[in-house]
Structure 1
Amino acid sequence: MFRPPIKANVPPGQQHRDRDVTTTTKTPALSGIHNVRDLGGHPLAGGGSTRYGAFLRGDALRGLDSDGLRALLDSGLRTIVDLRSHAEVADGPNPLAGHSDIAYHHIPLYDGLATIEAMAEAHPNGFDMGLRYRAAMDSCQPALAEALGLLAQAGEGTALFHCTAGKDRTGVIAALLLGHAGVGAEAVVADYAMTASYGAGLIDVLRQKALARGTDPDRAERVLASRPETMQATLIWLDQTYGGATSYMQRIGVSSGDCDALRARLAG
Protein backbone atom coordinates (compact mmCIF):
# COMPACT_ATOMS: atom_id res chain seq x y z
CA MET A 1 0.00 0.00 0.00
CA PHE A 2 1.37 3.39 -0.97
CA ARG A 3 1.34 6.22 1.53
CA PRO A 4 -0.23 9.59 0.66
CA PRO A 5 1.86 11.90 -1.52
CA ILE A 6 3.83 14.78 -0.09
CA LYS A 7 1.68 17.82 0.58
CA ALA A 8 1.66 20.07 -2.45
CA ASN A 9 2.95 23.63 -2.37
CA VAL A 10 0.69 24.57 -5.28
CA PRO A 11 -3.08 24.97 -5.04
CA PRO A 12 -4.99 21.68 -5.47
CA GLY A 13 -5.73 21.07 -9.12
CA GLN A 14 -3.16 23.54 -10.46
CA GLN A 15 -2.53 22.48 -14.01
CA HIS A 16 0.20 22.71 -16.59
CA ARG A 17 -0.81 23.05 -20.23
CA ASP A 18 1.29 22.05 -23.21
CA ARG A 19 -0.48 22.25 -26.54
CA ASP A 20 -3.83 20.49 -26.06
CA VAL A 21 -2.71 18.31 -23.18
CA THR A 22 -3.49 19.11 -19.58
CA THR A 23 -1.61 17.31 -16.80
CA THR A 24 -2.02 17.82 -13.10
CA THR A 25 0.93 17.45 -10.75
CA LYS A 26 1.56 17.83 -7.05
CA THR A 27 4.84 19.46 -6.20
CA PRO A 28 6.33 18.48 -2.85
CA ALA A 29 6.56 21.32 -0.34
CA LEU A 30 10.31 21.08 0.13
CA SER A 31 12.18 24.28 0.87
CA GLY A 32 15.66 24.77 -0.52
CA ILE A 33 15.38 22.59 -3.60
CA HIS A 34 13.85 22.74 -7.06
CA ASN A 35 12.27 20.46 -9.62
CA VAL A 36 10.99 17.62 -7.45
CA ARG A 37 7.56 16.44 -8.53
CA ASP A 38 5.27 13.43 -8.42
CA LEU A 39 4.60 11.33 -11.52
CA GLY A 40 0.99 11.00 -10.47
CA GLY A 41 -1.90 12.72 -12.21
CA HIS A 42 -0.95 12.12 -15.84
CA PRO A 43 -3.81 10.88 -18.07
CA LEU A 44 -3.74 7.23 -19.14
CA ALA A 45 -4.77 6.24 -22.65
CA GLY A 46 -7.38 3.80 -21.33
CA GLY A 47 -8.86 6.25 -18.86
CA GLY A 48 -7.90 7.35 -15.39
CA SER A 49 -4.53 8.74 -14.44
CA THR A 50 -1.20 7.70 -12.98
CA ARG A 51 -1.02 7.18 -9.23
CA TYR A 52 0.35 9.70 -6.79
CA GLY A 53 2.87 8.44 -4.26
CA ALA A 54 4.48 5.86 -6.54
CA PHE A 55 7.40 7.80 -8.01
CA LEU A 56 9.01 11.17 -7.48
CA ARG A 57 11.38 12.61 -10.08
CA GLY A 58 13.81 15.26 -8.95
CA ASP A 59 17.14 16.98 -8.64
CA ALA A 60 19.96 16.12 -6.27
CA LEU A 61 18.32 17.52 -3.08
CA ARG A 62 21.54 19.35 -2.24
CA GLY A 63 19.79 22.37 -0.72
CA LEU A 64 17.24 20.39 1.25
CA ASP A 65 16.91 21.53 4.86
CA SER A 66 15.98 19.46 7.93
CA ASP A 67 12.28 20.24 7.55
CA GLY A 68 12.36 19.07 3.96
CA LEU A 69 14.15 15.86 4.91
CA ARG A 70 11.49 15.14 7.50
CA ALA A 71 8.72 15.93 5.02
CA LEU A 72 10.13 13.39 2.57
CA LEU A 73 10.40 10.70 5.22
CA ASP A 74 6.98 11.42 6.63
CA SER A 75 5.46 11.24 3.16
CA GLY A 76 6.58 7.65 2.77
CA LEU A 77 9.80 7.99 0.78
CA ARG A 78 11.67 4.72 1.14
CA THR A 79 13.77 4.25 -2.01
CA ILE A 80 16.19 6.54 -3.84
CA VAL A 81 17.89 5.81 -7.17
CA ASP A 82 20.66 8.34 -7.74
CA LEU A 83 21.57 8.59 -11.45
CA ARG A 84 24.56 10.92 -11.12
CA SER A 85 28.20 10.20 -11.90
CA HIS A 86 30.70 9.15 -9.24
CA ALA A 87 32.24 12.65 -9.36
CA GLU A 88 28.87 14.34 -8.87
CA VAL A 89 28.04 12.14 -5.89
CA ALA A 90 31.45 12.77 -4.34
CA ASP A 91 30.97 16.52 -4.79
CA GLY A 92 27.47 16.54 -3.28
CA PRO A 93 26.23 13.32 -1.64
CA ASN A 94 22.51 12.76 -1.43
CA PRO A 95 21.53 13.91 2.09
CA LEU A 96 19.46 10.74 2.63
CA ALA A 97 22.15 8.27 1.52
CA GLY A 98 22.85 6.04 4.49
CA HIS A 99 19.62 6.88 6.30
CA SER A 100 18.27 3.85 8.13
CA ASP A 101 14.80 4.22 6.58
CA ILE A 102 15.99 4.68 3.00
CA ALA A 103 17.16 2.11 0.46
CA TYR A 104 19.68 4.21 -1.46
CA HIS A 105 21.08 3.03 -4.80
CA HIS A 106 23.66 4.76 -6.96
CA ILE A 107 23.55 4.00 -10.70
CA PRO A 108 25.88 6.28 -12.72
CA LEU A 109 23.56 6.24 -15.70
CA TYR A 110 25.77 7.99 -18.24
CA ASP A 111 29.08 6.25 -17.48
CA GLY A 112 30.92 5.78 -20.77
CA LEU A 113 28.74 8.23 -22.68
CA ALA A 114 30.52 10.91 -24.69
CA THR A 115 30.61 14.29 -22.97
CA ILE A 116 28.22 17.07 -23.85
CA GLU A 117 31.18 19.05 -25.18
CA ALA A 118 32.16 16.22 -27.54
CA MET A 119 28.61 15.80 -28.78
CA ALA A 120 28.21 19.54 -29.30
CA GLU A 121 31.45 19.68 -31.30
CA ALA A 122 30.24 16.78 -33.43
CA HIS A 123 26.95 18.59 -34.16
CA PRO A 124 27.92 22.28 -34.29
CA ASN A 125 24.75 23.42 -36.06
CA GLY A 126 22.15 21.08 -34.63
CA PHE A 127 23.00 19.99 -31.12
CA ASP A 128 20.29 19.73 -28.53
CA MET A 129 19.91 17.44 -25.55
CA GLY A 130 17.66 15.08 -27.48
CA LEU A 131 20.77 13.81 -29.26
CA ARG A 132 22.23 12.96 -25.87
CA TYR A 133 19.07 11.21 -24.70
CA ARG A 134 19.03 9.05 -27.79
CA ALA A 135 22.73 8.25 -27.51
CA ALA A 136 22.21 7.25 -23.88
CA MET A 137 19.31 4.94 -24.74
CA ASP A 138 21.52 3.26 -27.32
CA SER A 139 24.77 2.99 -25.34
CA CYS A 140 23.80 3.01 -21.64
CA GLN A 141 21.31 0.17 -21.73
CA PRO A 142 22.73 -1.96 -18.87
CA ALA A 143 22.59 1.00 -16.49
CA LEU A 144 19.10 1.96 -17.65
CA ALA A 145 17.90 -1.62 -17.15
CA GLU A 146 19.44 -1.71 -13.68
CA ALA A 147 17.82 1.58 -12.66
CA LEU A 148 14.41 0.50 -13.94
CA GLY A 149 14.77 -2.84 -12.20
CA LEU A 150 15.52 -1.16 -8.89
CA LEU A 151 12.45 1.05 -9.27
CA ALA A 152 10.33 -1.99 -10.10
CA GLN A 153 11.59 -3.88 -7.05
CA ALA A 154 11.30 -0.98 -4.62
CA GLY A 155 9.43 -1.84 -1.47
CA GLU A 156 6.36 -0.18 -0.03
CA GLY A 157 6.41 3.60 -0.15
CA THR A 158 7.51 6.22 -2.64
CA ALA A 159 10.59 5.81 -4.85
CA LEU A 160 12.57 8.88 -5.90
CA PHE A 161 14.91 8.87 -8.89
CA HIS A 162 17.09 11.88 -9.53
CA CYS A 163 20.16 13.33 -11.23
CA THR A 164 21.66 16.79 -10.71
CA ALA A 165 19.08 19.10 -12.29
CA GLY A 166 16.22 16.61 -12.53
CA LYS A 167 15.92 17.21 -16.26
CA ASP A 168 18.00 14.93 -18.48
CA ARG A 169 18.85 11.53 -16.96
CA THR A 170 15.78 11.90 -14.80
CA GLY A 171 13.77 12.94 -17.86
CA VAL A 172 14.74 9.79 -19.77
CA ILE A 173 13.67 7.52 -16.92
CA ALA A 174 10.44 9.49 -16.41
CA ALA A 175 9.59 9.27 -20.12
CA LEU A 176 10.10 5.51 -20.11
CA LEU A 177 8.03 4.99 -16.95
CA LEU A 178 5.18 7.17 -18.17
CA GLY A 179 5.13 5.74 -21.69
CA HIS A 180 5.24 2.18 -20.37
CA ALA A 181 2.35 2.92 -17.98
CA GLY A 182 0.17 4.08 -20.87
CA VAL A 183 0.58 7.86 -20.75
CA GLY A 184 0.34 9.43 -24.21
CA ALA A 185 3.30 11.07 -25.89
CA GLU A 186 1.97 14.61 -25.59
CA ALA A 187 1.55 14.28 -21.81
CA VAL A 188 5.06 12.81 -21.52
CA VAL A 189 6.36 15.82 -23.42
CA ALA A 190 4.40 18.14 -21.12
CA ASP A 191 5.93 16.49 -18.04
CA TYR A 192 9.43 16.98 -19.44
CA ALA A 193 8.74 20.63 -20.27
CA MET A 194 7.65 21.39 -16.69
CA THR A 195 11.31 21.76 -15.70
CA ALA A 196 11.22 25.19 -17.35
CA SER A 197 8.87 26.36 -14.58
CA TYR A 198 9.43 24.05 -11.61
CA GLY A 199 13.20 23.98 -12.02
CA ALA A 200 13.70 27.58 -13.12
CA GLY A 201 15.67 28.60 -10.02
CA LEU A 202 18.10 25.72 -10.26
CA ILE A 203 18.49 26.08 -14.03
CA ASP A 204 19.38 29.73 -13.54
CA VAL A 205 22.09 28.78 -11.03
CA LEU A 206 23.49 26.22 -13.48
CA ARG A 207 23.36 28.78 -16.28
CA GLN A 208 25.40 31.27 -14.29
CA LYS A 209 27.97 28.61 -13.43
CA ALA A 210 28.27 27.58 -17.07
CA LEU A 211 28.75 31.16 -18.24
CA ALA A 212 31.34 31.75 -15.52
CA ARG A 213 33.30 28.78 -16.90
CA GLY A 214 33.33 30.45 -20.32
CA THR A 215 30.64 28.27 -21.93
CA ASP A 216 29.20 29.77 -25.10
CA PRO A 217 25.82 31.30 -24.13
CA ASP A 218 23.97 29.65 -27.01
CA ARG A 219 25.38 26.24 -26.09
CA ALA A 220 24.50 26.79 -22.44
CA GLU A 221 20.89 27.49 -23.40
CA ARG A 222 20.74 24.39 -25.60
CA VAL A 223 22.04 22.24 -22.75
CA LEU A 224 19.83 23.72 -20.04
CA ALA A 225 16.60 24.07 -22.01
CA SER A 226 13.68 21.67 -21.64
CA ARG A 227 11.95 22.47 -24.91
CA PRO A 228 8.92 20.29 -25.71
CA GLU A 229 10.24 19.51 -29.18
CA THR A 230 13.36 17.94 -27.68
CA MET A 231 11.39 15.21 -25.91
CA GLN A 232 8.90 14.98 -28.75
CA ALA A 233 11.68 14.10 -31.20
CA THR A 234 13.11 11.61 -28.71
CA LEU A 235 9.78 9.81 -28.36
CA ILE A 236 9.34 9.64 -32.13
CA TRP A 237 12.83 8.14 -32.38
CA LEU A 238 12.04 5.68 -29.57
CA ASP A 239 8.93 4.49 -31.41
CA GLN A 240 10.70 4.18 -34.76
CA THR A 241 13.84 2.54 -33.40
CA TYR A 242 12.58 0.32 -30.59
CA GLY A 243 8.79 0.25 -30.90
CA GLY A 244 8.09 2.43 -27.87
CA ALA A 245 8.87 2.41 -24.16
CA THR A 246 7.63 -1.08 -23.32
CA SER A 247 9.41 -2.71 -26.23
CA TYR A 248 12.56 -0.78 -25.35
CA MET A 249 12.50 -2.02 -21.76
CA GLN A 250 12.13 -5.59 -22.94
CA ARG A 251 14.94 -5.17 -25.46
CA ILE A 252 17.41 -3.90 -22.85
CA GLY A 253 16.73 -6.73 -20.43
CA VAL A 254 14.10 -5.49 -18.00
CA SER A 255 12.29 -8.68 -17.00
CA SER A 256 8.61 -9.22 -17.74
CA GLY A 257 7.96 -9.32 -14.00
CA ASP A 258 9.66 -5.97 -13.50
CA CYS A 259 7.80 -4.48 -16.47
CA ASP A 260 4.53 -5.63 -14.94
CA ALA A 261 5.51 -4.24 -11.54
CA LEU A 262 6.39 -0.82 -12.97
CA ARG A 263 3.09 -0.57 -14.77
CA ALA A 264 1.10 -1.73 -11.75
CA ARG A 265 2.93 0.65 -9.45
CA LEU A 266 2.25 3.71 -11.59
CA ALA A 267 -0.98 2.85 -13.42
CA GLY A 268 -2.69 0.74 -10.76
Structure 2
Amino acid sequence: MSVTSRIDLPGVRNLRDIGGLSTTDGRSVASRRVYRAEALVSSNANESNALWVETESKAYASLGLTTVIDLRADEESTRAPSAWNRATNARYIQIPLPEGAPGSSTDLLQPVLSGRSPAFSAEDLGAYYVMLLQRRAKQFGTVIETIAGSEGKPLLIHCSAGKDRTALAIALVLGVLGVSREGTIRDYEQTGVNRPNRIEHYRAAFAKQNVRVEDVRAVFETPRVAMESALKHIDSEYGSAEDYLLRAAGTSQATLDAIRGTLLVER
Protein backbone atom coordinates (compact mmCIF):
# COMPACT_ATOMS: atom_id res chain seq x y z
CA MET A 1 0.00 0.00 0.00
CA SER A 2 1.46 3.35 -1.02
CA VAL A 3 1.45 6.38 1.26
CA THR A 4 1.74 10.06 0.56
CA SER A 5 5.09 11.67 1.27
CA ARG A 6 6.25 15.18 1.86
CA ILE A 7 6.96 17.51 -1.06
CA ASP A 8 9.83 19.85 -0.26
CA LEU A 9 9.15 23.53 -0.77
CA PRO A 10 10.89 26.34 1.13
CA GLY A 11 9.51 26.63 4.65
CA VAL A 12 6.64 24.23 4.01
CA ARG A 13 6.59 21.10 6.15
CA ASN A 14 3.31 19.35 5.43
CA LEU A 15 2.75 19.62 1.68
CA ARG A 16 1.90 16.40 -0.11
CA ASP A 17 0.17 15.05 -3.19
CA ILE A 18 -2.59 12.51 -2.50
CA GLY A 19 -1.78 10.93 -5.84
CA GLY A 20 -0.49 7.37 -5.87
CA LEU A 21 -2.73 6.00 -3.14
CA SER A 22 -4.22 2.65 -4.10
CA THR A 23 -7.95 2.00 -4.26
CA THR A 24 -9.79 -1.18 -3.38
CA ASP A 25 -10.81 -1.77 -7.02
CA GLY A 26 -7.20 -1.91 -8.24
CA ARG A 27 -6.87 1.65 -9.47
CA SER A 28 -4.94 4.54 -7.92
CA VAL A 29 -5.39 8.24 -7.25
CA ALA A 30 -3.97 10.44 -10.01
CA SER A 31 -0.90 12.50 -9.20
CA ARG A 32 -0.52 16.29 -9.36
CA ARG A 33 -4.23 16.94 -9.09
CA VAL A 34 -5.02 17.32 -5.38
CA TYR A 35 -2.52 18.57 -2.82
CA ARG A 36 -2.90 19.06 0.92
CA ALA A 37 -0.82 21.34 3.14
CA GLU A 38 -0.66 23.78 6.00
CA ALA A 39 -1.36 27.46 5.41
CA LEU A 40 1.29 29.35 3.48
CA VAL A 41 0.80 32.92 4.67
CA SER A 42 2.17 36.29 3.65
CA SER A 43 2.20 37.74 7.20
CA ASN A 44 1.55 36.87 10.85
CA ALA A 45 2.72 33.30 10.53
CA ASN A 46 2.62 31.12 13.64
CA GLU A 47 4.00 27.68 14.42
CA SER A 48 1.20 26.01 12.47
CA ASN A 49 1.84 27.91 9.24
CA ALA A 50 4.54 28.35 6.64
CA LEU A 51 5.68 31.87 5.76
CA TRP A 52 5.82 32.97 2.12
CA VAL A 53 9.38 33.67 0.92
CA GLU A 54 9.34 36.12 -1.98
CA THR A 55 12.58 34.83 -3.49
CA GLU A 56 11.08 31.33 -3.72
CA SER A 57 8.12 32.27 -5.91
CA LYS A 58 9.20 29.91 -8.68
CA ALA A 59 9.27 26.98 -6.27
CA TYR A 60 5.68 27.65 -5.18
CA ALA A 61 4.61 28.18 -8.78
CA SER A 62 6.00 24.75 -9.71
CA LEU A 63 2.82 23.14 -8.36
CA GLY A 64 0.83 24.83 -11.13
CA LEU A 65 -2.12 25.43 -8.85
CA THR A 66 -5.37 26.57 -10.44
CA THR A 67 -7.53 26.46 -7.28
CA VAL A 68 -6.79 26.91 -3.56
CA ILE A 69 -9.35 25.93 -0.91
CA ASP A 70 -8.87 27.57 2.51
CA LEU A 71 -10.77 25.86 5.34
CA ARG A 72 -9.76 28.31 8.07
CA ALA A 73 -12.21 30.47 9.98
CA ASP A 74 -12.68 34.02 8.73
CA GLU A 75 -10.65 35.50 11.60
CA GLU A 76 -7.75 33.16 10.81
CA SER A 77 -7.64 34.01 7.12
CA THR A 78 -8.03 37.74 7.80
CA ARG A 79 -5.17 37.80 10.31
CA ALA A 80 -2.86 35.74 8.11
CA PRO A 81 -4.00 35.75 4.45
CA SER A 82 -3.31 32.63 2.42
CA ALA A 83 -0.52 33.02 -0.12
CA TRP A 84 -0.79 29.64 -1.82
CA ASN A 85 -2.47 31.23 -4.84
CA ARG A 86 0.00 34.11 -5.03
CA ALA A 87 2.56 32.56 -7.36
CA THR A 88 0.04 31.21 -9.86
CA ASN A 89 -2.96 33.55 -9.48
CA ALA A 90 -5.00 30.46 -8.74
CA ARG A 91 -8.65 30.82 -7.87
CA TYR A 92 -8.94 31.26 -4.09
CA ILE A 93 -12.01 29.83 -2.35
CA GLN A 94 -12.82 30.10 1.34
CA ILE A 95 -14.94 27.33 2.83
CA PRO A 96 -14.69 28.17 6.55
CA LEU A 97 -14.82 25.43 9.18
CA PRO A 98 -14.65 27.69 12.25
CA GLU A 99 -15.16 25.21 15.07
CA GLY A 100 -11.97 24.56 17.02
CA ALA A 101 -9.99 27.27 15.26
CA PRO A 102 -6.85 28.38 17.13
CA GLY A 103 -7.49 31.55 19.10
CA SER A 104 -11.26 31.40 18.59
CA SER A 105 -13.97 31.02 21.22
CA THR A 106 -14.09 27.31 20.36
CA ASP A 107 -10.31 26.78 20.41
CA LEU A 108 -9.75 23.13 21.27
CA LEU A 109 -7.32 24.09 24.04
CA GLN A 110 -9.60 26.61 25.72
CA PRO A 111 -11.28 24.15 28.13
CA VAL A 112 -7.88 23.06 29.46
CA LEU A 113 -6.37 26.54 29.58
CA SER A 114 -9.41 27.87 31.45
CA GLY A 115 -9.33 25.02 33.95
CA ARG A 116 -12.70 23.61 32.86
CA SER A 117 -11.12 20.36 31.71
CA PRO A 118 -8.03 18.52 32.99
CA ALA A 119 -6.86 17.34 29.57
CA PHE A 120 -7.59 17.03 25.86
CA SER A 121 -7.24 13.41 24.75
CA ALA A 122 -7.06 11.56 21.46
CA GLU A 123 -10.67 10.54 22.06
CA ASP A 124 -11.57 14.20 22.48
CA LEU A 125 -9.96 14.92 19.13
CA GLY A 126 -12.05 12.16 17.59
CA ALA A 127 -15.19 13.68 19.11
CA TYR A 128 -14.21 17.02 17.56
CA TYR A 129 -13.94 15.38 14.16
CA VAL A 130 -17.37 13.81 14.55
CA MET A 131 -18.81 17.18 15.57
CA LEU A 132 -17.36 18.81 12.45
CA LEU A 133 -18.84 16.10 10.25
CA GLN A 134 -22.23 16.62 11.89
CA ARG A 135 -22.22 20.42 11.74
CA ARG A 136 -20.42 21.14 8.50
CA ALA A 137 -21.67 18.59 5.98
CA LYS A 138 -22.66 21.33 3.51
CA GLN A 139 -19.17 22.81 3.62
CA PHE A 140 -17.57 19.43 3.04
CA GLY A 141 -19.94 18.96 0.13
CA THR A 142 -18.76 22.27 -1.31
CA VAL A 143 -15.16 21.02 -1.10
CA ILE A 144 -16.14 17.94 -3.11
CA GLU A 145 -18.03 20.04 -5.66
CA THR A 146 -15.06 22.37 -6.05
CA ILE A 147 -12.70 19.47 -6.68
CA ALA A 148 -15.08 17.95 -9.21
CA GLY A 149 -15.36 21.31 -10.96
CA SER A 150 -11.58 21.68 -11.20
CA GLU A 151 -11.61 19.01 -13.95
CA GLY A 152 -8.35 17.49 -12.77
CA LYS A 153 -6.35 20.71 -12.79
CA PRO A 154 -4.00 21.11 -9.78
CA LEU A 155 -5.85 22.07 -6.60
CA LEU A 156 -4.66 22.51 -3.01
CA ILE A 157 -6.61 22.23 0.25
CA HIS A 158 -5.30 23.76 3.46
CA CYS A 159 -6.38 24.87 6.91
CA SER A 160 -3.90 26.13 9.52
CA ALA A 161 -1.54 23.21 10.19
CA GLY A 162 -3.05 20.95 7.52
CA LYS A 163 -3.81 18.40 10.23
CA ASP A 164 -7.48 18.31 11.28
CA ARG A 165 -9.92 20.15 9.02
CA THR A 166 -7.87 19.34 5.94
CA ALA A 167 -7.63 15.72 7.08
CA LEU A 168 -11.40 15.33 7.23
CA ALA A 169 -11.88 16.86 3.79
CA ILE A 170 -9.21 14.59 2.35
CA ALA A 171 -10.65 11.54 4.15
CA LEU A 172 -13.97 12.15 2.41
CA VAL A 173 -12.25 12.52 -0.95
CA LEU A 174 -10.33 9.29 -0.42
CA GLY A 175 -13.50 7.52 0.72
CA VAL A 176 -15.34 8.52 -2.45
CA LEU A 177 -12.37 7.37 -4.56
CA GLY A 178 -12.30 3.98 -2.86
CA VAL A 179 -9.08 4.22 -0.88
CA SER A 180 -9.19 1.75 2.00
CA ARG A 181 -9.76 2.78 5.61
CA GLU A 182 -6.17 1.82 6.39
CA GLY A 183 -4.87 3.93 3.50
CA THR A 184 -6.90 6.91 4.69
CA ILE A 185 -5.66 6.57 8.26
CA ARG A 186 -2.06 6.22 7.17
CA ASP A 187 -2.35 9.39 5.09
CA TYR A 188 -3.71 11.16 8.18
CA GLU A 189 -0.85 9.86 10.31
CA GLN A 190 1.69 11.13 7.79
CA THR A 191 1.17 14.67 9.07
CA GLY A 192 2.62 13.52 12.39
CA VAL A 193 5.64 12.15 10.55
CA ASN A 194 6.12 15.35 8.58
CA ARG A 195 5.68 17.58 11.62
CA PRO A 196 6.82 15.64 14.70
CA ASN A 197 6.94 16.95 18.27
CA ARG A 198 5.14 20.20 17.51
CA ILE A 199 4.14 20.49 21.13
CA GLU A 200 7.74 21.19 22.15
CA HIS A 201 7.30 24.65 20.66
CA TYR A 202 4.71 25.37 23.36
CA ARG A 203 6.17 23.55 26.36
CA ALA A 204 7.35 26.69 28.18
CA ALA A 205 4.10 28.54 27.50
CA PHE A 206 2.04 25.68 28.88
CA ALA A 207 4.25 25.44 31.94
CA LYS A 208 3.51 29.09 32.74
CA GLN A 209 -0.19 28.18 32.77
CA ASN A 210 0.38 25.04 34.85
CA VAL A 211 -0.61 22.76 31.99
CA ARG A 212 1.35 19.56 31.39
CA VAL A 213 2.16 19.05 27.73
CA GLU A 214 1.21 15.38 27.99
CA ASP A 215 -2.32 16.45 28.87
CA VAL A 216 -2.76 18.32 25.56
CA ARG A 217 -0.42 16.44 23.24
CA ALA A 218 -3.29 15.11 21.10
CA VAL A 219 -4.12 18.62 19.87
CA PHE A 220 -0.77 18.72 18.05
CA GLU A 221 -0.55 15.13 16.83
CA THR A 222 -2.42 12.67 14.61
CA PRO A 223 -3.55 9.85 16.91
CA ARG A 224 -4.95 6.95 14.94
CA VAL A 225 -7.98 6.61 17.20
CA ALA A 226 -9.16 10.13 16.29
CA MET A 227 -9.46 9.41 12.57
CA GLU A 228 -10.88 5.98 13.32
CA SER A 229 -13.66 7.70 15.28
CA ALA A 230 -14.49 9.92 12.32
CA LEU A 231 -14.56 7.05 9.84
CA LYS A 232 -16.61 4.84 12.18
CA HIS A 233 -19.14 7.66 12.55
CA ILE A 234 -19.49 7.95 8.78
CA ASP A 235 -19.91 4.19 8.41
CA SER A 236 -22.36 3.76 11.28
CA GLU A 237 -24.55 6.76 10.47
CA TYR A 238 -24.43 6.71 6.66
CA GLY A 239 -22.70 3.55 5.45
CA SER A 240 -19.96 5.23 3.42
CA ALA A 241 -18.34 8.56 2.57
CA GLU A 242 -20.40 8.62 -0.62
CA ASP A 243 -23.67 8.23 1.29
CA TYR A 244 -22.62 10.89 3.82
CA LEU A 245 -22.09 13.34 0.99
CA LEU A 246 -25.30 12.38 -0.80
CA ARG A 247 -27.53 12.44 2.28
CA ALA A 248 -25.97 14.94 4.69
CA ALA A 249 -24.23 17.32 2.30
CA GLY A 250 -26.68 17.18 -0.59
CA THR A 251 -23.94 16.36 -3.09
CA SER A 252 -25.24 15.01 -6.39
CA GLN A 253 -24.36 11.61 -7.76
CA ALA A 254 -23.09 13.34 -10.90
CA THR A 255 -20.57 15.27 -8.79
CA LEU A 256 -19.29 12.09 -7.15
CA ASP A 257 -19.02 10.39 -10.53
CA ALA A 258 -17.13 13.42 -11.85
CA ILE A 259 -14.58 13.40 -9.03
CA ARG A 260 -13.90 9.72 -9.64
CA GLY A 261 -13.61 10.36 -13.36
CA THR A 262 -10.95 13.03 -12.89
CA LEU A 263 -8.99 11.61 -9.96
CA LEU A 264 -8.79 7.87 -10.63
CA VAL A 265 -6.35 6.22 -13.03
CA GLU A 266 -5.48 2.65 -13.92
CA ARG A 267 -2.32 1.30 -12.33
Instruction: Please state which band the TM-score falls in when normalised by the shorter chain.
Output: 0.7 to 0.9
Q: CA RMSD in A?
A: 2.7
CA pair 212-57 structure 1, distance change in 2 beyond 3 A: farther
Q: CA deviation at 1:218?
A: 3.1
Aligned to 2:157, what secondary structure does the other structure show?
strand
Match of 1:60 in 2: 39
Match of 2:157 in 1: 161
My pick for the range that moved more, 210-219 or 138-147, is 210-219
Q: What are the ranges of 5 or more consecutive residues in structure 1 without an aligned counterpart?
A: 1-21
2:261 and 2:204 map into 1 onto residues whose CA distance is 41
Q: CA deviation at 1:61?
A: 1.4
Match of 2:175 in 1: 179
TM-score (norm 1): 0.81
Aligned to 1:200, what secondary structure does the other structure show?
coil
Aligned to 2:24, what secondary structure does the other structure show?
coil
Q: CA deviation at 1:71?
A: 2.5
Q: CA deviation at 1:173?
A: 0.4
The 5-angstrom pairing of residues 10-21 of structure 1 reads none
1:40 and 1:85 map into 2 onto residues whose CA distance is 27
Match of 2:44 in 1: none
Match of 1:243 in 2: 239
1:94 equivalent to 2:70? Answer no
CA-to-partner distance for each residue in 1:76-125, whole Å, 9 max, x for gaps?
21110000011111221111456663100111123599542477757968
Q: CA deviation at 1:152?
A: 1.8
Aligned to 1:109, what secondary structure does the other structure show?
coil
My pick for the range that moved more, 257-266 or 243-252, is 257-266
Match of 2:263 in 1: 266
Question: Among 171, 196, 219, which residue is 1:223 paired with?
Answer: 219
CA-to-partner distance for each residue in 1:52-80, whole Å, 9 max, x for gaps?
11100110013232355422323321110
Q: What are the ranges of 5 or more consecutive residues in structure 2 without an aligned counterpart?
A: 42-50
Match of 1:83 in 2: 71
1:26 and 1:218 map into 2 onto residues whose CA distance is 27
Residue identity in the other structure for 1:101: N
Among all aligned residue pairs of Structure 1 and Structure 2, give the percentage whose two residues are the same amino acid.
Answer: 27
Question: Do 2:36 and 2:156's aligned partners in 1 also have CA atoms closer than 8 Å?
Answer: yes
Aligned to 2:169, what secondary structure does the other structure show?
helix
Question: Do 2:199 and 2:213's aligned partners in 1 also have CA atoms closer than 8 Å?
Answer: no
Number of paired residues?
Answer: 246
CA pair 226-37 structure 1, distance change in 2 beyond 3 A: same
1:144 equivalent to 2:118? Answer no
Residue identity in the other structure for 2:53: D
Aligned to 2:156, what secondary structure does the other structure show?
strand
1:25 equivalent to 2:4? Answer yes
Q: CA deviation at 1:156?
A: 5.1
CA-to-partner distance for each residue in 1:9-62, whole Å, 9 max, x for gaps?
xxxxxxxxxxxxx32334322011111111011111011321111100110013
CA pair 60-259 structure 1, distance change in 2 beyond 3 A: same
Question: Do 2:3 and 2:187's aligned partners in 1 also have CA atoms closer than 8 Å?
Answer: no
Question: Do 1:110 and 1:140's aligned partners in 2 also have CA atoms closer than 8 Å?
Answer: no
1:243 and 1:198 map into 2 onto residues whose CA distance is 31
CA pair 45-65 structure 1, distance change in 2 beyond 3 A: same
Question: Among 45, 57, 62, which residue is 1:74 paired with?
Answer: 62
CA pair 210-36 structure 1, distance change in 2 beyond 3 A: farther
TM-score (norm 2): 0.81
1:43 equivalent to 2:28? Answer no
My pick for the range that moved more, 26-35 or 104-113, is 104-113
My pick for the range that moved more, 218-227 or 242-251, is 218-227
CA pair 197-212 structure 1, distance change in 2 beyond 3 A: same
Q: CA deviation at 1:148?
A: 2.1
